[in-house]
């Protein structure tokens, strides 16, 4: 469903700053990533979003295209980030149909709630494959295009770039591993790997003009993650535990994205932008329905949320 501008982008950004640019996004049909792409499209970019569900991805692409008259948004479904050849083909199609790949958002992720002793090797591998290997595969498939873009749109920090910016990647991570989070060991391990990957990219590819950064969202209202991984009662309690006394909005993740991809983010490389209202600094181990340590000591499995551990076949 088309969104009003104020729902996905602040008014501080000038229209057209991403004219003639292309953004490639995995997990692009999700709540957060679709808002990131929608903001870029509103500001002039064309886009290619990647997902496994064909119908969901194609419909979201059409929806995002409503952000700007004349926008081109490809929705490529049936693409699994765990398969490098599928991402290579998607990147090739994106560049062929839209002309380039200037910005990349690696946002595909998987999650559920379970203690580490309840997670099978297969379940752990699945999360690592989607989050870490999927981010790596996304980088590998798009890096040649990003290098070309960085060469084409060089910035020196002194003068406004006449043709805009390019050659930038953002990895979507989390804050779970900063102080430790019960029931999220698998994702914490995976996101720590994603963070390390981003720094490596910044160090090794920075001399080529590439910037690589992480955006780590906190509790964001109305997202699939909040709906799947929390109960109604815990969502009511969440704002009280955040210093800003509210949950965030997808617009605030999109604004951080625009900042990093724009002229304003030229000298930001290898960094993590945390957008969480200060939540991780006051991270509580009280998980609402999953009281610490009572729930962990009970040996029970998580119930009552959509994002539960599935029974392992192994």
Tell me if residue 191 is catalytic.
yes
Asked which of 4-13, 154-163, 196-205 is least confident by mean pLDDT, the reply is 154-163
- Helical H segments across 50-184, by residue range: 54-64, 84-98, 121-128, 134-152, 176-179
Give the active site residue among 100, 149, 188, 191.
Answer: 191
Spatial distance between the Cα atoms of 133 and 138, rounded to a whole number of angstroms: 8
Going by C-alpha positions, the residue among 163, 210, 170 that lies closest to residue 17 is 163
Active-site residue, 251 included? no
The rounded mean pLDDT for the chain is 93
Q: What is the mean pLDDT of residues 174-201?
A: 96
> What is the mean pLDDT of the segment spanning 216-228?
89
With a CB cutoff of 8 Å and minimum separation 6, the contacts of 96 are: none
**Residue 314's pLDDT band (boundaries 50, 70, 90)?**
very low
Please check the confidence at residue 172 and state whether its pLDDT lies above 50.
yes
256: which residues sit within 8 A by CB, 6+ positions away?
215, 273, 275
Rounded CA-CA distance 112/127 in Å is 9
Domain boundaries, the chain: 5-298
For the stretch 80-129, pLDDT in tens is 999 999 999 999 999 999 999 999 999 999 999 999 999 999 999 999 99
Looking at the domain that runs over 5-298, which CATH code has it been given?
3.40.50.720
- Which one is catalytic: 135, 173, 185, 198? 173
């Amino acid at each position: 469903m088309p969104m009003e501008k104020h729902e996905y982008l602040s008014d501080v950004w000038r229209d057209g700053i991403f004219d003639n640019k292309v953004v490639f996004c995995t997990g692009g049909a999700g709540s957060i990533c679709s808002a990131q792409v929608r903001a870029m499209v509103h500001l002039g970019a064309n886009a290619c979003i990647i997902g496994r569900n064909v119908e969901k991805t194609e419909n979201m692409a059409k929806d995002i295209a409503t952000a700007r008259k004349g926008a081109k948004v490809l929705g490529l479904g049936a693409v699994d980030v765990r398969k490098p050849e599928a991402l290579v083909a998607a990147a090739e199609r994106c560049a062929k149909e839209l002309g380039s790949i200037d910005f990349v958002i690696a946002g595909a992720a998987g999650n559920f709630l379970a203690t580490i002793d309840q997670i099978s090797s297969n379940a752990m591998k699945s999360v690592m494959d989607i989050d870490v290997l999927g981010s790596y595969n996304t980088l590998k498939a798009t890096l040649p295009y990003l290098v070309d873009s960085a060469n084409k749109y060089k910035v020196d920090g002194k003068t406004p770039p006449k043709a805009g910016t390019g050659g930038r990647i953002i990895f979507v991570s989390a804050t779970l591993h900063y102080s430790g989070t019960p029931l999220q060991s698998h994702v914490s391990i995976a996101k720590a790997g994603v963070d390390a990957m981003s720094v490596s990219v910044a160090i090794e590819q920075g001399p080529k003009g590439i910037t690589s950064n992480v955006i780590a969202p906190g509790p964001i209202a109305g997202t699939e993650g909040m709906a799947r991984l929390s109960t109604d009662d815990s969502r009511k309690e969440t704002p009280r535990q955040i210093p800003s006394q509210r949950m965030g909005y997808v617009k605030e993740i999109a604004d951080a994205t625009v900042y990093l991809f724009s002229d304003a983010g030229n000298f930001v490389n290898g960094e993590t932008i945390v957008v969480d209202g200060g939540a991780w600094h006051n991270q509580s181990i009280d998980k609402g329905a999953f009281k610490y340590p009572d729930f962990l000591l009970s040996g029970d499995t998580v119930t009552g949320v959509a994002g539960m551990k599935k029974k392992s076949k192994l």
